[in-house]
Copies of this chain bind each other. A is one copy, B any other.
Amino acid sequence: MDYQTLLDEIAQDIVPYFGLGKVANYIPALAKINPQQFAISIATLDGQQYSTGQADTRFSIQSLSKVFMLSLVLGRLGDSLWTRVGKEPSGNPFNSLIQLENENGIPRNPFINAGALVVTDLANSLYGEAKAVLLDFLRQETGTTDLAFDLEVAHSEQQHGDRNAALAHFMKSYGNMVNPVDHTLDSYFHSCSITLSCAELARAGLYLANHGLSPISGQQRLSRSQAKQVNAIMLTCGTYDAAGEFAYRVGLPCKSGVGGGILAVIPGKLSMAVWSPALDSQGNSLIGLEALDRFTTRTGLSIF
């Protein structure tokens, strides 16, 4: 079966799931989104792209930004990054302070909020103003010039950002936050507020499927080994406290965001993005997981 037909079938299959789950409501700017939206898009290494649903509607990438910011820092710093953040699954909800306290301010991985704040702090040290560099990176990797921060969302995050502020100050108390906390938070909230469409997100992930070399921008974003590392961390840590569930059902490196987007990578083959705003109890797109499960089951594509 060709990809287009399969995607169209999946778009039919998930219709009964509309109404399940809940959109993120911790900030008003996200809470008002219409949950009955869905898109899926595949970008292959040989330059094809297949999409269905509202694949050109932009949504808040939120934690998906962590993959790209991590790539920006890992590509520049290499393994010395791992003195400031771990790469083990956390086994706790995504913003827990307990583990951070037990482990002296070193977050367990770059995809929990604490870890992403450390990566953002590093990115500011390396690049000066990380949020602008990230936006530029995404413009290049999507081949789109009009990407932007959603300032309403960024502002709303800042208004409700006390838990992230707590994490940042807590790590600073351990010496694991170099720049001023306010700057790091500003960079982090703006990075999360960037909007991408499903079609754009699928393209943006291609360098991860291609051993670090982007077929879009032509740039070697990560070394072959680093690309493998990012995929490994996506698989073990990319979907909050459901990494095992995703590995088990989907069997692909995935990263999700509370805006309802999920990026999945099949190394050597393709990058895909799925989006539907309603979340399951772990904070991942409920319909997104269903769609990915169907895709890998029917194609037999899985890393396992």
Q: Which residues of B contact A91 (CB under 8 A)?
A: 88-92, 99, 108
Q: How far in angstroms is the closest Cβ of chain B from A258?
A: 16
Please tell me if A30 contacts chain B, counting CB pairs below 8 Å. Answer: no
Which of A6-14, A37-45, A46-54, A244-252 lies at the interface?
Answer: A244-252
A229 touches B248 (CB 8 A): yes
Q: Interface residue tally of chain A, by bracket?
A: 35 or more
Which of A61-69, A118-126, A235-243 lies at the interface?
Answer: A235-243
Please tell me if A140 contacts chain B, counting CB pairs below 8 Å. Answer: no
Please tell me if A167 contacts chain B, counting CB pairs below 8 Å. Answer: yes
Q: How far in angstroms is the closest Cβ of chain B from A73?
A: 16
Q: Which residues of B contact A257 (CB under 8 A)?
A: none
Which residue of the partner chain B has the closest CB to A229? Answer: B248
Main secondary structure on A side of the interface with B: helix
Please tell me if A101 contacts chain B, counting CB pairs below 8 Å. Answer: yes
Q: Which residues of B contact A162 (CB under 8 A)?
A: 169-170, 172-173, 177, 181
Q: Which residues of B contact A173 (CB under 8 A)?
A: 160, 162-163, 166
B87 touches A248 (CB 8 A): yes
Q: How far in angstroms is the closest Cβ of chain B from A189?
A: 14
Please tell me if A228 contacts chain B, counting CB pairs below 8 Å. Answer: yes
B88 touches A244 (CB 8 A): yes
Chain A 96-116 interface mask (CB, 8 Å, partner B; 1/0): 111101000000110000000
A59→B294 CA distance, assembly (Å) = 42
B166 touches A89 (CB 8 A): no
Q: Which residues of B contact A89 (CB under 8 A)?
A: 88-91, 236, 243-244
A–B pairs, 6, beta carbons within 8 Å = A90-B91, A166-B170, A225-B297, A232-B247, A233-B248, A236-B236
Interface residues of A (CB under 8 A from B): 86-92, 96-99, 101, 108-109, 160, 162-163, 165-170, 172-173, 177, 181, 225, 227-229, 231-233, 235-237, 241-245, 247-248, 251, 253, 267, 297, 302-304
- In the A-B complex, the 5 residue pairs with the closest CB atoms: A91-B91, A89-B89, A166-B170, A232-B247, A303-B303
With contacts A91-B108, A163-B173, A232-B251 known, what are 13 further pairs, Cβ within 8 A? A88-B241, A88-B244, A89-B244, A90-B91, A97-B170, A165-B165, A166-B170, A227-B304, A228-B251, A228-B304, A232-B244, A233-B244, A303-B303
